[in-house]
Amino acid sequence: MIPPGDGPAKTGYPCRMTGSGHTKPSPSRTDADIEALANRVRSGERSALARAITLIESRKADHRAQAQALLQALSGSSDTVRRVGITGVPGVGKSTTIDNLGSNLTAAGHKVAVLAVDPSSSRTGGSILGDKTRMTRLAADPHAYIRPSPASGTLGGVAAKTRETMLLCEAAGFDVILVETVGIGQSETAVADMVDFFLVLMLPGAGDELQGIKKGVVEIADMIAVNKADGDNAARAGRAAAEYRAALHILTPQSRNWQPPVITVSGLTNTGLDDLWDRIEDHRRIMLASGELNERRREQQVRWLWAMMDDHIRAALSATPKIRERVARLEGRVRAGEVTVALAVEELVGLLGLK
């Protein structure tokens, strides 16, 4: 059974289809459900999109099979879709900036989906899910869709199914996908591997902030925006931007066709956000013309392949009680120092029949 989404389904769009009255064998109920759900997602029905995302986030084995069938039915991407990742330390103003930026975009005729990856409880995997209250304008915008997703302990705090959720939103007609990270751990790298443009928001403070800058984040940034450049902070933000420009000149750009700019913005007062979006559009035009956009997306597909492989291997190790028991014993032996990690890995590989 396909799980429900976060809202009631509209009438007039049947969730289930039967073969009653047909002389030929009809598709199974599951196949018919998936086909109907795919059609509803394509039509832009919000409750169907929510239901589809809930399906791909499910950990149940039968739901995983249905989710892959749904993704296959909705496969295909377009270079007209803008995929933008946005990161920054907690308190930098990501949600406020996204709220105003997204509202500017919907006013200009875009359909905007925000995938906000929330911090999760390490015990329960529960999500704070506060983004709908922080992004008040977008939450009430009929041309925007906000989907908070619990990170559930995945690498760097990035929700395991964010890539699939992006594809569903694109199929539903959203042409701008904004992915907000929690700004901790390795979430920045994980998000950069699934978007076309990676924006890093920084706080004003110049020297002090520069000392704490993470080189790895700057190396993968397509643009740095110093936020909160308003009031008494405006001058400090300008000085910080100059420091970041100098730092970027020392590093080798990741793109052969794009030198990451550094700008100042105020997400709170909606200052500089039009310029920010113009830079993103400039990047898209340059990358499309050079062929680098399609090249980046193809490389991301390969990295996605191996990320999914890692997930499936870990799932296989807990698939049966017998294997789970052997894995638990092996973990205990590693913890006790009775066996080296290298030998433990060899044994795990043997359990999967890969040797």
Which residues lie closer than 8 Å to 267 by C-beta, 6 or more apart?
Answer: 93, 94, 96, 97, 98, 99, 100, 101, 201, 227, 228, 273
DSSP, res 82? E
Tokens of 108: 């200009």
Q: Determine the average pLDDT of the residues in 218-246.
A: 91
The answer to whether 144 and 112 are in contact (CB under 8 A) is yes
CA distance 186 to 86: 14
**Residues 222, 339: one domain?**
no
Distance of CA 216 to the CA centre of its chain: 19
Element (H, E) at 71: helix 61-73
Please indicate, yes or no, whether residues 249 and 124 belong to a single structural domain of this protein.
Answer: yes
Note the pLDDT of residue 337: 94
Residues 141 and 207 in one domain: yes
Q: What's the pLDDT band for 156 if we cut at 50, 70, 90?
A: very low
Handedness of CA 105, 107, 111, 116 (dihedral sign): positive
Do 70 and 95 reside in the same domain of the chain?
A: no
- Print the domain residue range for 347: 297-351
24 with 112, same domain: the answer is no
Q: Is a pLDDT exceeding 80 seen at residue 157?
A: no
Residue 205 or residue 345, greater confidence: 345
Q: Tens digit of pLDDT for each residue in 114-147?
A: 998 755 444 444 444 455 567 999 999 999 999 9
pLDDT at 24: 45
- Provide the mean pLDDT of the chain: 81
How many helices (H) and strands (E) would you count in the chain? 15, 7
CB of 103 within 8 A of CB of 142? no
CATH code of 8's domain: 1.20.5.170
Percent of the chain with pLDDT over 70: 79
pLDDT at 25: 40
> Token pair 């989907």 is at which residue?
147
- Take residue 292 and report the two structure tokens written for it: 């680098």
Higher pLDDT: 80 or 31? It is 80
Are 115 and 216 within one domain? yes
What is the pLDDT at residue 191? 85
Distances (CA, A) of 248 to 31, 204, 245, 308: 52, 16, 5, 33
Specify the amino acid at residue 17: M
| 114 sits in which H/E element | strand 112-118
* Average pLDDT of the segment spanning 233-243: 91
| DSSP string covering 179-197 | EE--SSTTHHHHHHTT-SE
Give 35-48 pLDDT, tens digit per residue: 999 999 999 999 99
Residue 287 confidence (pLDDT):
96
When divided into structural domains, the chain yields a total of 3
Q: What is the CA radius of gyration of the chain?
A: 23
Same domain, 57 and 201: no
Q: Which parts of 182-263 fold into alpha helices (H)?
A: 187-192, 207-211, 215-220, 233-250
In this predicted structure, the answer to whether residue 353 has a pLDDT above a threshold of 60 is: yes
Let me know whether 147 and 169 are in one domain.
yes
User: What is the distance between the alpha carbons of residues 329 and 154, in angstroms, rounded to a whole number?
Assistant: 24
Question: pLDDT tens for residues 282-319?
Answer: 999 999 999 999 999 999 888 888 877 877 787 778 77
**Which of residues 166 and 61 earns the better pLDDT score?**
166
**pLDDT-based confidence at residue 12 (cuts at 50, 70, 90):** very low
Query: CA 57, 61, 65: angle at the middle one, nearest 5?
Result: 80
The predicted structure's pLDDT at residue 108: 97
Write the CATH number for 167.
3.40.50.300
Q: Look at residue 150 and tell me whether its pLDDT is greater than 70.
A: no
Q: Decide which of 247, 270, 290 is a domain's last residue.
A: 290
CATH code, domain with 341: 1.10.287.130
pLDDT band at 20 (very low <50, low <70, confident <90, very high): very low
| Better-predicted residue by pLDDT, 125 or 76 | 76
Residue 252 is predicted with a pLDDT of 79
Among 75, 95, 122, give the residue marking a domain's end. 75
> Which pLDDT score is estimated for 7?
43
The number of beta carbons lying within 10 Å of the beta carbon of residue 268 is: 16
Give pLDDT, residue 4: 54
Bigger pLDDT: 97 or 187? Answer: 97
- Whose structure tokens read 């009631």? 8
Residue 211 and residue 323 in one domain: no
DSSP string, 281-338: HHHHHHHHHHTHHHHHHHHHHHHHHHHHHHHHHHHHHTSSHHHHHHHHHHHHHHHHTS
Per-residue pLDDT at 122: 42
Q: Do 20 and 134 belong to one domain?
A: no
pLDDT of residue 23: 42
Better pLDDT: 89 or 269? 269
Residues 109 and 254 in one domain: yes
pLDDT: which is higher, 350 or 23: 350
End position of a domain, from candidates 52, 75, 98 = 75
Residues 139, 273: one domain?
Answer: yes
